[in-house]
């Protein structure tokens, strides 16, 4: 993919939201299911939001740093006079109208679709696959560490989760760089 300017989803601390699935895996067994499910929603939401943002950036023609995504359409642009859509329906209409208006102006549906597919594949591997697998492996390996009897049961229970959580920030830059490099030399050669 050509350089499209700064991507706010790849900057820190926003990028950490993409590791919600890894954090959920690291904490599984140590915290309640609502917390785990909330972290999974954050991680999945990050992947989907980045997948939607990147094609919009391509469609807007952002070619240099500072040319960020403009305002999204409002309900007044989408709905007839006097009608008001509740919550999610209104938001869906606004996003659909925004995508449609960009497509009308740019006629770059192939570029936008390619960008969406590229971003989704990148995020699926860099945020959805590698961090949870790494956290799971570290957590399972931590159970094999012999812990002295003098360590409290609470500390013994949190040791695997703590080690799995500590491993995630160490590999974040490495994961992002390796996935980008692998995609550059494999799938991105096709487009």
Rounded to 5°, the CA angle 57-60-63 comes to 75
- Establish if 79 belongs to a structural domain: no
Quote the crossing angle between the two packed helices 20-27 and 130-142, to the nearest 10°.
Answer: 20
Residue-wise pLDDT for 88-130, tens only, equals 445 555 555 565 665 555 557 788 888 899 999 999 999 999 9
- Establish if 14 belongs to a structural domain: yes
Which token pair is 99?
């995508």
- Establish if 93 belongs to a structural domain: no
- Establish if 101 belongs to a structural domain: no
- Establish if 64 belongs to a structural domain: yes
Domain count along the chain: 1
Residue-wise pLDDT for 36-83, tens only, equals 999 999 999 999 999 999 888 887 764 434 334 444 444 454 455 555
Phi, psi of 28 (to 5 degrees): -60, 135
Range of the domain at 38: 8-73+106-190
- Establish if 91 belongs to a structural domain: no
- Establish if 94 belongs to a structural domain: no
Q: Give the length of the chain.
A: 191
């Amino acid at each position: 993919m050509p350089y499209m300017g700064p991507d706010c989803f790849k900057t820190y601390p926003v990028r950490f939201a993409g590791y919600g699935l890894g954090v959920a895996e690291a904490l599984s067994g140590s915290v309640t299911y609502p917390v785990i499910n909330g972290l999974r929603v954050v991680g999945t939401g990050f992947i989907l939001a980045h997948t939607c943002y990147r094609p919009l950036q391509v469609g807007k023609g952002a070619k240099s740093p500072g040319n960020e995504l403009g305002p999204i359409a409002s309900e007044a642009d989408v709905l007839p006079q006097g009608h008001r859509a509740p919550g999610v329906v209104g938001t869906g209409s606004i996003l659909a109208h925004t995508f449609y208006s960009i497509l009308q102006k740019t006629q770059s549906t192939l570029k936008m679709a390619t960008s969406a597919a590229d971003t989704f594949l990148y995020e699926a591997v860099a945020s959805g696959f590698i961090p949870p697998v790494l956290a799971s492996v570290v957590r399972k390996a931590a159970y094999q560490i012999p812990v002295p009897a003098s360590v409290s049961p609470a500390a013994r229970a949190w040791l695997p989760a703590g080690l799995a959580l500590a491993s995630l920030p160490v590999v974040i830059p490495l994961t992002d760089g390796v996935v980008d490099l692998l995609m550059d030399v494999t799938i991105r050669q096709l487009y």
